[in-house]
Amino acid sequence: MSAPLPGDQPRRGEPGIVDGHGPDAAHPPGPELRRLADAMRGVTDRMVRTQADPATLADAAEAVGRAVTLLEPVSPPWGASVPAKPMFDTDPHDFFPFSPMIGWYSPLSPPIACEFRDGAVRGHGTLGAAYEGPPGCVHGGIIAGLFDEILGIANIAAGVGAMTGTLTIVYRSPTPLYAELRLEAHTDRIDGRKVHTVGTLHAGDRLCAEANGIFILVEHDRFVDQTRLHGAAGTA
């Protein structure tokens, strides 16, 4: 018997808030979609460290192919998602439920759980073999992507959602795989349209990386106009 998937356990914040991202009120994302995303993460993790024989790989490919066949007729064409408006009492994962960095419903996202606390965004989780860069360590690009997302969410929590202008990462020490990681981010100051945001990444008590971002304030209506050009639902 295989070990239970992380998606078998109920979670805070389900179903997620989705604004024009494909699922409608009759087909909301929820625990079933979350479980599917977790199962896909499980497949990815095992693929990058498998020693399966060709017959087993062929069987696995057939099983995944069946999932594609099931989903294809109920998957509408892609459309850009309507951007989130700043809200102070919303779970961070509800802002971007399909984010490739923290989205509960994206099998691409590292398993990092985030929350608002004490005026900051805090995240924690353990990254496995699928996110390896240097031997035994998390890939630096994954770290940069997580910082980009978490700093951005910190700005949303502060009521100043903005676009990334520059993002500077200082890698202080290797970030280990299969270790509990802790991320923190908060908005430092606002200078005109520039929002300065900072963050840190720790493994235990060891500082692994620091981030300093400059984000540019953009009116929400401009986001909506942009997504309308790409056929986003709910923007006609």
Domain boundaries 118-222, CATH class? alpha beta
* CA distances to 5, 15, 94, 180 from 87, in Å: 31, 17, 10, 29
Per-residue confidence band for 219, with pLDDT thresholds at 50, 70 and 90: confident
Q: Provide the pLDDT for residue 5.
A: 33
* Alpha-carbon torsion, ordered 23, 106, 197, 192, to 10 deg: -30
Question: Given a cut of 50, is residue 17 above it in pLDDT?
Answer: no
Over the chain, what is the mean pLDDT?
A: 83
The per-residue pLDDT for 13 is 39
Show me where the domains of the chain are located: 118-222
Cβ burial of 228 (10 Å; 0-12, 13-18, 19+) is: middle
Is pLDDT at 231 greater than 70 in this prediction? no
d(CA 193, CA 197): 13
Q: Which of 29-38, 83-92, 99-108, 178-187 has the highest mean pLDDT?
A: 178-187
Residue 57: pLDDT over 90: yes
pLDDT at 112 over 80: yes
Per-residue pLDDT, 222: 65
**Strand-pair category, 194-203 with 120-125:** unpaired
Q: What is the pLDDT of residue 65?
A: 96
CA 137 → CA 103, 127, 131, distances in Å?
22, 9, 8
Separation CA 183–CA 112 (nearest Å): 9
Query: In this predicted structure, what is the pLDDT of residue 224?
Result: 62
Percent of the chain surpassing pLDDT 70: 76
Task: Using the predicted structure, report yes or no on whether residue 60 has a pLDDT greater than 50.
Answer: yes
Verify cis geometry, omega within 30 degrees of 0, for the bond prior to 110.
no
Instruction: Calculate mean pLDDT across residues 140-152.
Output: 97
pLDDT for residue 3: 33
- What is the arithmetic mean of pLDDT over 55-62? 97
pLDDT at residue 1 is higher than 70? no
Q: How far apart are CA 142 and CA 35, in angstroms?
A: 23
Q: So what's the pLDDT on residue 10? A: 34
In 72-139, alpha helices (H): 92-95
